[in-house]
Amino acid sequence: MVTGMQTPVFIDDLPDSSAVGSRKSERYRQVRNRALAEMLLDEAVTWHERPCPACGQDRASSRNFSQALMPFQRCSACNTIYAARVPDQRHLDQERLQMLSDLPPEPADSAKSTREFEFVSILNWLRLTEARHGKPLNTVAEYRFSSQAPSLPQTVERIGSTRDWTFLPLSDSGSANFGDLRDHLQASSPDAVLLYGEMDRIAEPAQLLRVVRANLPRGSLVFIATSCADGLEYEILGADSPSFVPLDRLNIFSVGGFSALVEELGYKAIEISTPGRLDAVILQKYFTEIEGSDVPFWSGFFRSANKDRLHDLQILLQRSLRSGVMRFVLET
Amino acid sequence: MGQIRHQAMIKHGGFEVVAACDTHTDPNAEIPVVTDPMRVYDYDPDVIFCCVPNNMIPDVVCEALDRGKHVFSEKPPGRNSDDVRKMQAAEARNPALVLKFGFNHRFHDAIEDAKRLIDAGTMGDLYFMRGVYGKAGGANYAQNWRNDPAKSGGGILIDQGIHMLDLFLMFASDFPNVQSVVQRKFWTDVPVEDNAFALMRNDNGVVASLHSSATQWQHKFTLELYARGGFISVNGILSASGTYGTEVLNVALNRLDKDGNPIPNPESQEIRYTVDRSWDKEITEFYEAVVNGAPVKCGTSQQALDVMLLVERIYAADPAWSEQRTAAIAGRW
């Protein structure tokens, strides 16, 4: 039984600004931008222009968001931020696999426990949604997040989930047009699919959502976590936002834009949230560390804000669906 | 309450209200209004909505059932368990009819979600519940029939606290073990309690604590359920007065350390409910029972009896108060 749409707020201890520095290091941004530059110079890569990937609004009707390296637009109809030209998915996947192979091993101790808390949050998200909506999720297929988070399967196993998980990491074969996912869904018909952080990175997000819906029984659930263009960070800092790494953020959907997209594709949204924990501390770090970064009201606010005020703001952003990441639960 | 029910029936669309009974007539009313309760039967209704003082409820309910009418009655179900048994007897004499009591808190969205979470087993075994339900007396507190024990059967506990007890009973089975403190602190010239504290345990070891208050100057509804695997709290309850705040459910599942011990302050999900749909859902359940024969799940006479017995147990568990109450009901206060 699925009731009306809900908008949960995720309340947890919030980190201070020291936690932000290591999240998207400057070096990481440079590496990703170099990879993008190499793709732009690679004549084997096919690029195609596209309208807003959420609502289909023509690029000409949208506003410029960034012209660095490649053009990004902010849709004037739905507020989604998107790359106006995207490379073909095959090259995107190849580049990503290369990037993942170059990454250092996952850190130990405190950073690892932070990551594990993130995984536990995902698992609890599924458990509570399952219970509230009375839909047992005995089998779950996770698509590609385990490539970014290789310790996820071990955490799932260690925590002792009673459900059967299948992890489908990014691979160099079989993923054309998301065929690997299609084949698994057709063979296994899982009760739920988890797409965590994937919608940001792909050239044709609607195509992925079509594959999922076409190959799942009606009434299945799809859990999606992605960046959110309505977040205060993007609203204030625009393309200067520390979270904006072009190659990792080909699509930064707005809540309204993504809602329109999934409805168009035949899904029913049963939960929408923006559970970000870092918007406030990212902005505080930005305004305290970047000289001359004055924005009326906000720069003074963040420079003088103490931890309590940042916490209150972060919760307000969540309650207002204005944090920089969002989660959707969709019913097929 | 009659007007709230009337609005819910209009909204539902499956009811035609043919007459109302009140203490005074209203020349501007859109339906016939009578002052003699027996006159409503002149309009040959199929169902009776009973929204009268507690002492009148048993007679109105029994009369209606014996006349072949389905009955929806407000809570509390009379003044005591004997009143409920009297109505159960009438119900038994008329097994084809529906009798439902208006314990509408079970239909609040946050409460329904909490129930789903517990029933799904996600939270694990229930350990304990804490409930606080209180308000700041009310207008004409001393003169209100609700505070005349001969008419009401008691004070804030039977009037408002009974909702929390009903929820306790929904989440756990009966509570045979009860300790209590019942007192009158502010309205000392009124012969009913303005505060009741109860600590209860059921046979499965689930503990429940209740504070029902008429001196809760800032209106409050809080229900917490702590289980092996996490907790649920419901703060605020959407009401006709709007004074108990937005209805907010918080739910958290424990995070465990490497030894399997819960780490304090787990991530919680907060869900806010801003529309009170309880009246509509309650009316719908009654309609479905009358028209389509669906079972009544919330507000059965057995649930009414169970909660009234628990009220009586709480009154009786404070010997000093029990003595005062007996005298007050007998008019010797």
Chain A residues with CB under 8 Å of B265 CB are 12-13
Q: Are residues B150 and B94 in the same domain?
A: no
Q: Does A132 contact chain B (CB < 8 Å)? A: yes
Average pLDDT (B283-288) is 98
- CA–CA separation, B152 vs A189, rounded Å? 58
What pLDDT shows up at residue A104?
74
Is residue A23 over pLDDT 80? no
Using the beta-carbon criterion (under 8 Å), do A13 and B265 form an inter-chain contact?
A: yes
Q: How many domains does chain B have?
A: 2
Sign of the dihedral defined by the CA atoms of residues B137, B140, B145, B150, in that order = positive
Average pLDDT (A192-219) is 97
Average pLDDT (A161-171) is 90
Percent of chain B with pLDDT strictly greater than 90: 87
CATH of the domain at B143: 3.30.360.10
Using the beta-carbon criterion (under 8 Å), do A10 and B268 form an inter-chain contact?
A: yes
Q: Are residues B98 and B142 in the same domain?
A: no
Q: Are residues B221 and B307 in the same domain?
A: yes
Which residue range is the domain that position B50 belongs to?
2-104
Q: Does A293 contact chain B (CB < 8 Å)? A: no
Q: Write down which residue in B60, B87, B104 finishes a domain.
A: B104
Q: B115 lies in a domain?
A: yes
Helix (H, G, I), strand (E, B) or coil at A133: helix
User: In the block, which residue shows the tokens 């108060």?
Assistant: B321
Average pLDDT (B12-22) is 95
Q: A137 lies in a domain?
A: yes
What pLDDT shows up at residue A24?
56
Q: Calculate how close chain A gets to B211, using CA atoms only, in Å.
A: 27
What pLDDT shows up at residue A1?
46
Interface A:B, Cβ pairs < 8 A: 57
Is residue A296 over pLDDT 80? yes
Is residue A28 over pLDDT 90? no
What is the average pLDDT value for chain A, to the nearest integer? 91
Q: B281 lies in a domain?
A: no
Q: Calculate how close chain B gets to A9, using CA atoms only, in Å.
A: 5
pLDDT digits (tens, 9 = 90+) for A239-295: 999 999 999 999 999 999 999 999 999 999 999 999 999 999 999 999 999 888 889
Q: A52 lies in a domain?
A: no
Is residue A113 over pLDDT 80? no
pLDDT digits (tens, 9 = 90+) for B54-103: 999 999 999 999 999 999 999 999 999 999 999 999 999 999 999 999 99
The set of residues, in sequence order, having a beta carbon less than 8 Å from that of A200 and lying 6+ positions away, is A226, A227, A248, A249, A250, A251, A252
pLDDT digits (tens, 9 = 90+) for B128-155: 999 999 999 988 888 899 999 999 999 9
pLDDT digits (tens, 9 = 90+) for B207-249: 999 999 999 999 999 999 999 999 999 999 998 888 999 999 9
The reply to whether omega before A296 is within 30° of 0 (cis) is no
Q: At B328, is the pLDDT very low, low, confident or very high (cuts 50, 70, 90)?
A: confident
CB-CB contact of A228 with A276 (8 Å): yes
The set of residues, in sequence order, having a beta carbon less than 8 Å from that of A31 and lying 6+ positions away, is A99
Nearest chain A residue to B256, by CA = A159
CATH of the domain at A311: 3.40.50.150
Using the beta-carbon criterion (under 8 Å), do B269 and A8 form an inter-chain contact?
A: yes
Percent of chain B with pLDDT strictly greater than 70: 99
CA–centroid distance for A267 within its chain: 19
Q: Does A121 contact chain B (CB < 8 Å)? A: yes
Q: Which of residues 78-137 of B touch A (CB under 8 A)?
A: 109, 113, 116-117, 120-123
Q: Are residues B100 and B247 in the same domain?
A: no
Nearest chain A residue to B231, by CA = A128
Q: Calculate how close chain A gets to B306, using CA atoms only, in Å.
A: 27
Q: A165 lies in a domain?
A: yes
Facing A132 at nearest CB: one of B113, B250, B266: B113
Q: Are residues B144 and B18 in the same domain?
A: no
What pLDDT shows up at residue A21?
65
Taking phi over 0 as left and psi of -120 to 50 as alpha, with beta for the rest, A169 belongs to beta
Look up the ipTM and state it. Answer: 0.91
Q: A56 lies in a domain?
A: no
Q: A58 lies in a domain?
A: no
- CA–CA separation, A6 vs A33, rounded Å? 38
Chain A residues with CB under 8 Å of B256 CB are 159
CATH of the domain at B32: 3.40.50.720
Q: Are residues B221 and B265 in the same domain?
A: yes
Q: How many domains does chain A have?
A: 1
